[in-house]
Amino acid sequence: MTVERPRILTGDTPTGKLHLGHYVGSLENRLALQDDYDCYFLIANQHALTTRADKTHDIRADTVGIVKDWLSVGIDPDRSTICLQSEIPAIVELCWYFAMLLPFNRVMRNPTLKTEIDDKGLGDTYSFGFPLYAVGQCADILAFRPELVPVGEDQVAHIEMTREAARRFNQFYCGVDPHTEDADYVKEGGLFPIPAAKIGRVGRLVGIDGKQKMSKSLNNAIFLSDTPKQVKKKINAIYPGQSREPTDPGDPDINPVFDYADAFIKDKNLIDDLRTRYRKGDNLGDGHVKAHVIDAVNELLEPIREKRAALEGPAGDAKVLEIIKDGARRANEVAEETLALAKEKMGFNFAKRELTLS
């Protein structure tokens, strides 16, 4: 007998290449959870339209690219389901229903949306679909009725909104008492578990500007596909937060290079030693600390680069397209079931639907 494993859903928007912030914020968690959970990893290509509606072919290329990044870090399509948002129609339908359960002003107050509007300089020119994507993310998640959503810290506001949508659905259509504890919603008859965010080892990795979180749009990222030379150049360019000679006492706490040391150097004694010497001004230059960080990052990235290189070209593309097709089949089995159950709870179950993919 196969025991059903609890489900996980998480995803990335295909905006280009994944970076170290993605790795420590979420990818690493996904790898660790692949065996114990039934994992669904979603490529949110419809969300990429929020800022690039005129560039769908670029989004397509980035979609293939992101799957290659996932495979390179060790996401295993035999154990986990890699699925493409635009191939899962139940998500869009659920989005409509959840959009009716969340107050408009509640969505517009979502701090992640606000930050994105600032970071990307969207002003007031963003599309109607832009705030809608946050509701869409509730549907991405709830379509899979997962227990956990492994994400970086920046996504927590979206998960919080998802939890609100799930509670309200369960209250309106499944008769669950609003005073129910989150953990008990399903036991009390709710369709949707109230999913929890699972934050990575480093919830927010600072970018090479030393100030903001690492992000492609802020131009401060080290990509998983960067060459050893690029990694070296980028880390060497980080401002250590203070100007000092190797013999001056320094403050590692205001030096972003130490954030990278913590995130990537495996030998904790080495990090402690570097910190202590930095504080004392024990003949420890910033270049020396950076050299250790560069080695550690390159050691992490080397096998990823090798796997990525093996996926380049038409054969790699073909493999990815097969994975996407197979994943669509597996993902739709769950999402269609969720939608049918949701419509049943709402009394909207007039005809049964079979989704066929070819």
Contact positions vs ligand TRP (CB under 6 A): 9-13, 42, 44, 47, 137, 140-141, 149, 151, 155
Q: Distance of CA 46 to CAs 53, 140, 192, 257, 294, Å?
A: 9, 11, 23, 35, 35
The C-alpha atoms of residue 194 and residue 146 are separated, in whole angstroms, by: 8
Looking at the DSSP bridge assignments, the partners of residue 12 are 43
The C-alpha atoms of residue 91 and residue 85 are separated, in whole angstroms, by: 8
Cα torsion through 125, 53, 82, 98, rounded to 10? 50
Tokens 């517009």 correspond to: 108
Which is nearer to ligand TRP, 158 or 345 (by Cβ)? 158
Kindly state the smallest distance separating residue 152's Cβ from ligand TRP, in Å.
Answer: 7
The two three-digit tokens of residue 198, written as one number: 């699972």
Kindly state the smallest distance separating residue 11's Cβ from ligand TRP, in Å.
Answer: 4
The C-alpha atoms of residue 289 and residue 271 are separated, in whole angstroms, by: 9
Which is nearer to ligand TRP, 136 or 252 (by Cβ)? 136
The two three-digit tokens of residue 165, written as one number: 């949508």
SS3 at position 73: helix
Which is nearer to ligand TRP, 199 or 294 (by Cβ)? 199
The C-alpha atoms of residue 314 and residue 201 are separated, in whole angstroms, by: 35
What are the backbone dihedrals phi and psi of residue 11, each rounded to the nearest 5 degrees, phi first? Answer: -165, 175
Kindly state the smallest distance separating residue 60's Cβ from ligand TRP, in Å.
Answer: 17
Kindly state the smallest distance separating residue 98's Cβ from ligand TRP, in Å.
Answer: 13
- Which residues of 79-172 form beta strands (DSSP E)? 81-84, 148-151
Kindly state the smallest distance separating residue 112's Cβ from ligand TRP, in Å.
Answer: 8
The two three-digit tokens of residue 55, written as one number: 């560039």
Which is nearer to ligand TRP, 26 or 171 (by Cβ)? 26
Kindly state the smallest distance separating residue 29's Cβ from ligand TRP, in Å.
Answer: 12
Kindly state the smallest distance separating residue 184's Cβ from ligand TRP, in Å.
Answer: 23
- Number of Cβ within 10 Å of residue 45's Cβ equals 20
CA 128 to chain centre: 23
Which is nearer to ligand TRP, 135 or 141 (by Cβ)? 141
Which is nearer to ligand TRP, 145 or 292 (by Cβ)? 145
Which is nearer to ligand TRP, 13 or 80 (by Cβ)? 13
